[in-house]
Amino acid sequence: MSPSLHILQPGPQTTVQDLGRHGFQAYGVPVCGALDGPALRLANALVGNEAGCAGLEIRLSGPTFEVIGGPARLALAGAQAAIEVTVGDETRRYGAWRALDVPEGARVRLGALTGSGCAVLALAGGVDVPLVLGSRATDLKGGFGGNEGRALAAGDRLPLGEWAAQGPCLELPAPPRASGEVTLRAVRGPQADAFTEAALDAFFATPYRVSREADRMGMRLEGPPLAFRNSADIVSDGIATGAIQVPGSGLPIVLLADHQTIGGYAKIATVISADLPLAGRLLPGALIRFRAVTVGEGEEARRVREAEIARLIASLAPVREGARIDEAALYHANLISGVVTGQESG
């Protein structure tokens, strides 16, 4: 069966993303892909897909769509949100971190995200848009990949890959929990010597706030300006995802999935790959700190993260419909509508 999604309302920025377009940065093509790669992998595991199947990355609030051409199995991971499924006159609400089967003709609405600025909706069979340079990821700056190289719009129709329902819907019994202030581990450099010692000390000791200038390309931080020994300018060189550029203003910019492939500003540090999903989840106003680590410590952190993802996938279990609280429904219910002060007297 090959269903598709008819987009009724797209949400603030919903794009088709997979694990990225690797091997083309030498030609000026960014990697792109999901900001929260582990969420994509977990969502795909919930619906029975391969880890890198394309799904929908949702920013802030989800889309509303109709399932046409057959039933679909879907799962949201990375953030909590109310998932409303309407069939005829009946609407049911579900939460994230579980798969659910949606019949043909159903209308699905995803509400505002909580716990993260982005989430991933996986669909069994994957979003079957054309491959471009080996990936289905949307390159918003280049205008290619994904759904015509852009965010979803009302009226779009997204084909899904063929799938056959096998086994019960799965859930993640103990999903990751969001924390308060975020600490990002980072390796110094590659141009740490462009900054004064006081600037380096301040960078790793001072909390920064994510400014409103934040998107899939990167996020500018607010805090004390960092001082240079001479200048912010360098001979343009290659940029890795997670690099922290510092332009002449002295305010750091953490570069994310859609970052440019070369740049001419000094980079004070680079966020390790294990912590990049944390950076991708941040919203304007969030507080972050940086902690210096070695390359070896960063590699060990990546191994620990991969082991944790494998553990979470191994813990997936059939959904227990009658044995769990529907958090999404509780969030939308008026649990205290009045107070009883006593019985009426006859």
Amino acid at 45: A
Confidence tier at 1 by pLDDT (50, 70, 90) = low
Q: What is d(CA 267, CA 198) in angstroms, rounded to the nearest whole number?
A: 16
Structure tokens belonging to residue 264: 């001419």
The more confidently predicted of residues 179 and 289 is: 289
Tell me what pLDDT residue 87 has: 95
Checking if the pLDDT of 325 tops 50, the result is: no
Percent of the chain with pLDDT over 70: 91
Beta strands in 177-286 (DSSP E): 182-188, 208-214, 218-222, 233-238, 243-245, 253-255, 262-265, 267-271
Checking if the pLDDT of 322 tops 70, the result is: no
Which residue ranges form the domains of the chain, and what is each CATH number?
4-174+319-331 (no CATH), 182-302 (2.40.100.10)
**Model confidence over 273-287: pLDDT tens digits?**
999 999 999 999 999
Mean pLDDT value across the chain:
91
* Residue of 33, 26, 32 whose CA lies nearest to 238: 26
Confidence tier at 163 by pLDDT (50, 70, 90) = confident
Evaluate the CA torsion angle 102, 147, 17, 244 in order and state its sign: negative
**Model confidence over 23-53: pLDDT tens digits?**
999 999 999 999 999 999 999 999 999 999 9
Checking if the pLDDT of 334 tops 90, the result is: no
* Residue of 280, 315, 291 whose CA lies nearest to 31: 280
Checking if the pLDDT of 8 tops 50, the result is: yes
Q: What is d(CA 69, CA 79) in angstroms, rounded to the nearest whole number?
A: 28
Tell me what pLDDT residue 157 has: 97
* Residue of 45, 188, 44, 59 whose CA lies nearest to 118: 59
* Residue of 72, 43, 46 whose CA lies nearest to 57: 43
The label of the residue with tokens 């969001």 reads: 178
Tell me what pLDDT residue 179 has: 66
**Model confidence over 164-223: pLDDT tens digits?**
777 899 999 999 876 667 999 999 999 999 999 999 999 999 999 999 999 999 999 999
Checking if the pLDDT of 240 tops 80, the result is: yes
Q: Please name the residues in contact with 246: beta carbons below 8 A apart, sequence gap of 6 or more.
A: 195, 226, 228, 232, 252, 253, 265, 266, 267, 268
Structure tokens belonging to residue 289: 């700190």
With H, G, I as helix, E, B as strand and everything else as coil, classify residue 287: strand
Checking if the pLDDT of 323 tops 50, the result is: no
Structure tokens belonging to residue 305: 């993260």
Tell me what pLDDT residue 346 has: 41
Task: Taking residues 79-95, report their average pLDDT.
Answer: 95
Tell me what pLDDT residue 139 has: 97
Checking if the pLDDT of 18 tops 60, the result is: yes
Say what the pTM is.
0.89
Instruction: Choose the weakest-confidence range: 155-164, 179-188, 295-304.
Output: 179-188
Q: What is d(CA 206, CA 183) in angstroms, rounded to the nearest whole number?
A: 11
**Radius of gyration in angstroms for the set of CA atoms belonging to the chain, rounded to a whole number:** 22
The alpha carbon torsion through 78, 82, 83, 84 (nearest 10 deg) reads -170
The string of DSSP codes covering 289-327 is: EEEE--HHHHHHHHHHHHHHHHHHHHT-EE--GGGS--H
Tell me what pLDDT residue 344 has: 43
The more confidently predicted of residues 7 and 164 is: 7
Longest dimension (CA), the chain: 89
Q: Please name the residues in contact with 78: beta carbons below 8 A apart, sequence gap of 6 or more.
A: 36, 39, 40, 42, 43, 96, 116, 118, 119, 120, 281
* Residue of 114, 267, 275, 251 whose CA lies nearest to 183: 275
Evaluate the CA torsion angle 312, 37, 280, 199 in order and state its sign: positive
Task: Taking residues 74-93, report their average pLDDT.
Answer: 95
